[in-house]
Structure 1
């Protein structure tokens, strides 16, 4: 069996394993193995193939890691309207406590409203952004 075929089979195996586990880094390593296969097609020695696979695979992992670290985290499931129908609803707050909470009447019951980070506590209408336990996280509407 040709060397390039072995590289392609190993890359395919890593892609299949990545599909089962969902580990993004296995996909980047498979890119490195594909680089080894391309190096074999170019006629490089086995050492050259290994170096190409290692360098490209490691670079892909590092670049992928840095890109993922730059992105903000995914929003909390509790803040998705498809999960919680209270998200996006409005309510009125008459006054805020000194700790940044307010007692509000919402859906016929008393709730504790909590301000989102960076919001100013003033009376008015607010929009529900997330439900955390029995507290409503709100922002100015």
Structure 2
């Protein structure tokens, strides 16, 4: 059973188009609705929607940060060397400069967050199936 299917249409903002521009950095299908892409503002804001089981690769934000405002569904956030955090609507995550991390949907639920991002991302390896399969057990 898939939970939180209403997320696929967007809870607050539209889920946007398939996130083809960043597909190489995701396992599974994600969608992106860019909300702020003003070259005069040093921050990007986007509504990111993940299909069940979708997650992004490990990554680091250099000379910046990332704030996630969870708006729907159920997901995970994990920093390297730390236990994964279960996320649901209303949760807020702050990732500081230089911290290796990943985030994405649970296996059986859609997941959506607003990502507020500054700096330059460095995309790393995918989250292993071993790590992902152990979540929630």
Bigger strand fraction: 2
TM-score normalised by the shorter chain: which range applies?
under 0.3
TM-score (norm 2): 0.21
TM-score (norm 1): 0.20
Decide which structure has the larger Cα Rg and report it: 1
